[in-house]
Amino acid sequence: MLTKTGNGGTGLSRETVKELLRLFKEAQTTPLSFETLADVDRFEESLEKEVGLQPLEPVDITDKEQDATPVILWCRQTWACVADLFSNPANAEGFVAELEDSSESEEAHRFTEPSTGSFWREAVAGLPDGASIAAVILYSDATELAKDGSATGHPVYVSLGNISSGERWKPHGRRLAALLPDFSKHVVKPGVDVARRRLEIFHTCLEKILEKQKEVESTGMRMKDPLGVVRYVRPLLYAYVGDYPEQCKVAGTKMGNQTRFPCPKCLISNENLANADARWEYRTEEGQKLTLAQLQAFRGRTALARAETVESTHRVKVGIWGFPNGSTTWGNPYRSLMCDVMHMSALGVYKHMVDCIRTMLPDKIAAMDIALRNVTAFSRQSLFRLPSEGKHYFANRGVFQAFEHQSVMQVLPIILELVNAPAAIREVVSLYVYWHTEVWLRPYHTEDSLDVLDLLTKKLVAKLVDVFGEQQSSEFNLPKVHAMLHVVDDIRRGGIPAHYCTDMYEHLHIALMKRPYRTSNKKNVESQIARKALVAELVDILARQEEGAEDSAARNGALSQALQTGCPAVTGKNGQLALLGDRSSLWQAYAHTIPGNMEQLLPSIMSFLGPDRTCDARVNLHRGVAVPPGENYEIYNRHAQFARATPLFYGRPWFSDVAVTDHSTDDADAQRFCKLLLMFTLTNGEECQQVAFVRFYNVLGPAEGSVLDRMTWASGDGAYGIVPVDDILRVLHVAPLTDDVRNDSATFLYNPFRR
């Protein structure tokens, strides 16, 4: 849909939009027709009324005694967003409106979606029979809109734990609830504490947007779920997601190592932050109100600042207070402050751990950068988003983004192995990356696995302090290390962190904040962003009305079926060739890229088919195949991946390493590691098989002082083989320890942390 332009629209001129509208009308590509831009405006207004969407409205919260400039909050009640999300038919797939009766034992219970956690069970237990909850997820974070830092935005997003994680990513699975005031333009009157006033404004904004939700939590309200069933619903604060500074702001607590209780969730003392065995209690609304009352007695600014540091609490009324169930254990608003993978891990503990390694191993930084380039040149992966060639990651770590930190983190154990770093550093880094995969990439947990994870977390925290203790920067000291100790309890309360991490919401900054800012006139930015957020929601609703939910479900089902079958997905032009004697350019490219291996192709095919069945065989080459996600976490990858075997993909060869099912044993979970050399459809008469030509590895186990398995090429009759494409389980990350990887004596490292 095209909407208002020029001074507040798509970035096109008014004349261009008129011409586009005329062309669209004449081409009859849409059932809608608009004569003028005013028709577009009227259509949007009518659609707003039809679907019942509440737009963001400006609210003046200026305090004339303290603020020298106006303070405007653009918002709509979170309850309006919750009601819209709960009733939206687009969220029907996987939507949880009520808990199903389960006969599984406590030991067999799986913690996956939010509805599997203790929060949901305990909340539902206190409701009338047949009542439902709307598990509200809030996320807020300041973000820069302009590269020079001249403009910032502070959005508050809303989603529901009832919505399946697959739908929560989509436009119909979340809403923009508010745009908080831009403090870069805020001026206070003389004598007013700027930091305190801005914190007061922040919590005033939270109170405004949560006001109706708190009221409805007490009374409940009848509404339809996505399937049209009328339910009695109460909205409950399930999770408030944010980085460490944002969590401290939401909790009204002081942050940093110099305060007495730096954690926004609990009352652990600063000297015990890294003590894995220390006991702590969660903050409570009642306790924080008592602390606030004590702080009110201080009048002098110096005395108040000292008291706030001792109590680690700001003298401000907190916006997340006042929920009717806030005094319960499960409804405690401070427990809703959830772990955040991007800021706690990739931009938190891991980043500071790398800083310590750089300090401890200054003579190895250049070698680590070379090793990183070599690793990425040898093993390409579809989900591998590493710094581009020419950048020096370890020598210039500060300029990299979160996704680059996450990618490098998963190959760091191999990097340290290649540069022969001290064994203690290699061990703690490998332990940390393993912990990261267990927490953030595992699709479910059980009570037994959580007990193991709890022991692993405590062991890791102790080793982090032991190995990097003397090298710690002030930030490494440890609120983020301590946050790791909350993870197990958070999983028991609300399911695995993948369902509420900021990775799920970071893309909203781009879609709903940064892109609208770039196309705005840089004046009255908040109003333009608010308008475009509503237009995006309307466009999504209109698109779904035109397409039809049934068609969408059919498309999704077809895509799912295609992934599950493992059908080859051709990524380039196929070469049709006979098995022998062909001199096509594609065949020559393969033969040139993997010499010495191609001579094993015909014997492998003869062994696979039988020597009397190859006379009419032909092959149709493929360059990529979809590897579907599996159900067994211990064996299969969690996300769909691409395995490739091509001599040229964006200028470089790409031959994936994979794990395949081992049919030579009775163990159904047995697997072998191998490198893909060729993938093709093998046609023999009327029989058609999708297969791969591979070279197998021998796994030797870790060397002394190492935590990574070493591998060599397999030898003898079983060195090469043909395997069905359906036997490919997952893509591996393998790095060479020798320069000539084609030599039969070449040695490799297997990285189990790259998933």
Burial 338-352 (b: 16+ CB within 10 A, else e): bbbbbbbbbbbbbbb
| pLDDT band, very low/low/confident/very high, at 381 (cuts 50, 70, 90) | low
Give the model's confidence band at 6: pLDDT under 50 very low, under 70 low, under 90 confident, else very high. Answer: very low
Q: What pLDDT, on a 0 to 100 scale, did the predictor assign at position 9?
A: 41
Find the mean pLDDT for residues 615-641: 60
pLDDT for position 160: 94
pLDDT for 102 equals: 63
Provide mean pLDDT across the span 14-35. 48
Whole-model pTM: value is: 0.78
Mean pLDDT of 86-97: 90
146's torsion region: left (phi>0), alpha (psi -120 to 50) or beta?
A: beta
Q: Please give the pLDDT value at position 318.
A: 96
229 and 253 in a single domain? The answer is no
Specify if 237 maps to a domain: yes
Question: Do 610 and 739 share a structural domain?
Answer: yes
Span 364-379, pLDDT tens digits: 988 888 888 777 666 6
508 and 471, same domain (yes or no): no
Highest mean pLDDT among 26-35, 79-88, 607-616: 79-88
d(Cα 509, Cα 524) in Å, to the nearest integer?
A: 18
How far is 741 from 655, CA to CA, in rounded Å? 12
Report how far apart, in Å, the C-alpha atoms of 210 and of each of 81, 205, 508, 663 are: 11, 9, 21, 58
Closest among 52, 96, 41, 143 to 510, alpha carbons compared: 143
Write the DSSP string, 356-416. Answer: HHHHH-GGGHHHHHHHHHHHHHH---TT--PPPTT--TTTTGGG--HHHHHHHHHHHHHHH
Mean pLDDT of the 659-678 span: 88
Nearest to 331, CA basis, from 126, 101, 485: 126
Q: Is residue 569 part of a domain?
A: no
Q: Is 253 inside a domain boundary?
A: yes
E strand segments, 463-617: 576-578
Q: Quickly tell me which residue has 């893909």 as its tokens.
A: 676
Cβ atoms of residues 152 and 184 within 8 Å:
yes
- Assess whether 510 and 601 both reside in one domain: no
User: What is residue 543's predicted lDDT score, i.e. its pLDDT?
Assistant: 58
User: What are the residue ranges of helices labelled H in 233-379?
Assistant: 244-251, 285-295, 301-311, 341, 350-360, 365-378
Map residue 327 onto helix, strand or coil: coil
Residue 7: the pLDDT is 38
What is the pLDDT of the chain when averaged over all its residues? 78
Which pLDDT value is given to residue 571?
A: 27
pLDDT for 590 beyond 70: no
Under the banding of pLDDT at 50, 70 and 90, the label for residue 588 is low
The answer to whether residues 728 and 627 touch, using CB atoms and an 8 Å cutoff, is yes
User: Residue 644 belongs to what domain range?
Assistant: 576-751
Q: List the structure tokens of 391.
A: 């950048």
Reported confidence tier of residue 555, pLDDT bands at 50, 70, 90: very low
347 and 430, same domain (yes or no): yes
Q: Decide if 546 is inside a domain.
A: no
CA angle 260, 263, 265 (to 5 degrees): 130
State CA 168 to chain mean position distance: 12
Residue 617's pLDDT is what? 55
pLDDT of 338 > 70? The answer is yes
Q: Per the domain annotation, does 208 fall within a domain?
A: yes
- For 382-397, what is the mean pLDDT? 61
Q: Residue 403 has which token pair?
A: 């996704």
> Maximum CA pair distance of the chain?
96
Residues 627 and 729 in one domain: yes
What's the average model confidence in pLDDT over 65-77? 92
Q: How confident is the model at residue 552 (pLDDT cuts 50, 70, 90)?
A: very low
Higher per-residue pLDDT: 348 or 596: 348
Please check whether residues 103 and 199 belong to one and the same domain: yes
In this prediction, residue 530 has a pLDDT band, given cuts at 50, 70 and 90, of confident
Model confidence at 11: pLDDT above 90: no
* pLDDT band at residue 205 under the 50/70/90 scheme: very high
Q: What percent of the chain has pLDDT over 90?
A: 31
At 284, is the pLDDT very low, low, confident or very high (cuts 50, 70, 90)? very high
| Residue range 423-476, pLDDT digits in tens | 999 999 999 988 988 888 788 899 999 999 999 999 999 999 888 876 555 445
For residue 564, pLDDT over 80 is answered with: no
Q: What is the distance between the alpha carbons of residues 193 and 209, in angstroms, rounded to a whole number?
A: 25
pLDDT of residue 87: 92
Amino acid at 402: A
Q: Flag whether pLDDT at 595 surpasses 80.
A: no
Stretch among 31-40, 143-152, 167-176, 221-230 having the lowest mean pLDDT: 31-40
Residues 231 and 292 reside in one and the same domain: no
> What distances in angstroms separate CA 662 from CA 216, 712, 724, one per listed residue?
57, 18, 11
Half-sphere exposure of 167 (CA within 13 A, CB side): 24
Under 8 Å between Cβ of 38 and 529 = no
Strand ranges, E, within 501-656: 576-578, 618-622, 624-627, 641-649, 652-655
- Indicate whether 334 pLDDT > 80: yes
Assess whether pLDDT exceeds 50 at residue 559.
no
Q: Does some domain include residue 544?
A: no
Give the pLDDT score at 123. 93
User: Cα separation of 709 and 701, whole Å?
Assistant: 4
What is the bridge-based pairing of β-strands 657-661 and 652-655? unpaired
Tokens 């039988």, located at residue = 610
Q: pLDDT band at 214, cuts 50/70/90?
A: very high
> Does a structural domain hold residue 632?
yes
Place of tokens 């790259």: 754
**pLDDT category of residue 598 using cuts at 50, 70 and 90:** low
Same-domain pairing of 249 and 234: no
Q: What are phi and psi of 25, to 5 degrees?
A: -65, -45
Q: If you write DSSP's letter for every residue of 338-361 in order, what string do you get? A: E--HIIIIIIIIHHHHHHHHHHH-
Residue 622 has which token pair? 């493929």
Q: Which amino acid is at 624?
A: G
Q: Provide the pLDDT for residue 156.
A: 93
All residues at 6 or more sequence positions from 267 whose CB lies less than 8 Å from its CB, including other chains: 261, 280, 281, 282, 283, 287
pLDDT at 354: 86
Which H/E stretch holds residue 541? helix 525-547
What's the pLDDT at 618?
A: 64
SS3 509: helix
| Domain assignment present for 497 | no
pLDDT at residue 96 greater than cutoff 50:
yes
- The verdict on 88 and 21 lying in the same domain is no
Q: Are residues 90 and 142 in the same domain?
A: yes
Using an 8 Å Cβ cutoff, are 86 and 134 in contact? yes
- Which residue has better confidence, 574 or 504? 504
C-alpha separations of 290 from 286, 287, 417, 639, 733 in Å? 6, 5, 53, 47, 54
Measured at the CA of 121, the angle between CA 115 and CA 127, to 5 degrees, comes to 115
pLDDT for the residue numbered 649: 77
Q: Which residue has the tokens 């020079």?
A: 148
Q: What percent of the chain has pLDDT over 70?
A: 74
Provide the domain count of the chain: 5
**Distance spanning both ends of the chain, measured CA to CA:** 39
Same domain, yes or no, for 483 and 584? no
DSSP state letter for 593:
H
